[in-house]
Structure 1
């Protein structure tokens, strides 16, 4: 029933997208972003994005991007929510970024700004990383890769000190702890740290410096797997340490489903599965049964 009405709304929006006045309506833009939340939840479990939702969002955002970025208020806020959604969905589905990055280029500066603006700048870098990894029309060369590294390093050097955690402790292996504890003051800082985690996953998995053949390849792949595991555990640790921010648990689950094949230790698998269950208990909208079945299959729990 929910899916039926969701599709009905998407159909109406596709019809309105052909009307010049409607396509510039900021309230309709907000409606598209809200409706696309359904796809954001399902994204780790479907091979291709829902074309109607993607087209609807892309058409409205392309039409309103320049106006949204040039103004303050509701329209710009909706634009950045849609931008963040697209990054998460593209990351989970391992596909190119479908929203216009060209409109955001002037926004990627290093001038002093409020913290939420620094988060948006980081998301632009993340979107470029998705393009590097998944857009077959671009060259995946070392120069372009280093450019992404340089952008990220510049962001880290220039971002406000408020993005530093107020409390950070590594997992105590002697106490059989799995996740680090990292606490932040504001939701935008949580989003930033977890977005950095997803960015690290992309840059680690698609590094051009991993040997393609030869005796060094196995060692390099083992190092890649170790970095991916550590990054996922960090993303999950942030979510568990900041339970006041439910979206952090969703991001943790996306990272788990994306990198689950890198985890072979049963204790870590059980801890990650517990996060899957906690997310549904605390948010009431994460599709636990589908995610649980996928993890059990990958980890061979049923065999």
Structure 2
């Protein structure tokens, strides 16, 4: 028994992008630049929504929470990734690995729920415009946000507890840049069936049903838009949901590519590239999409720039 306890692994080594060693400096610089853009771009959106009074509407309050989630998600993954690239050492303790996975899974679940809430908001705005204000009240908006945060952080907790009870013997090298579930479970020397069952069950619940709700919502939205007689009216209606539709497509498209393709058909380098899409590219593009495709955000930015220019 004592020999077994002495063989248990207490620390893991994240390999990161070892096969791209010759491009280490370029990769580090690029990721650092992208992380800075993600961090300040999303913080800028949060500040903009808070500062500009005409953006104090449910749609933009939801957007600011999406930006907060993107900042937290990338901050959970990227700083450690940058450290691995800079020092070429990716040591992480057993408990830190589980915490990193828990935050990653919880924030991903929250974004699924929030995008669902945002699709409901767009459904009300386009399909029930006369009743929108009476249904999507400030109280309902606040309750939906709080519920999304609370529910989002629940499903991954039982999985994290299950992971903490696993034993890891001898092997401690994770061929990834963060503690993703599959490479983490591959190292376990105890039964992982419970952890896999919990992870699959909660992932299915938190992904499939929100995605189905989003599809139904946009089915009604598209049907309503097509019934508008004037082309200008259709364009105006579509513009109110085009940003959210682009973000939803990017988010679920990336999820499908990552988890819909069987892992045995993906090389580890391909798996890492797909993970980059989810952890880096999506949070990077979210503020870009909203700033470029949303007229209200664009006007707010222009007005602020004018005030700054006039004040100089």
Larger radius of gyration: 2
TM superposition score normalised by structure 1: 0.31
Identify, as 1 or 2, the structure richer in helix: 2
Q: TM-score scaled by structure 2?
A: 0.31
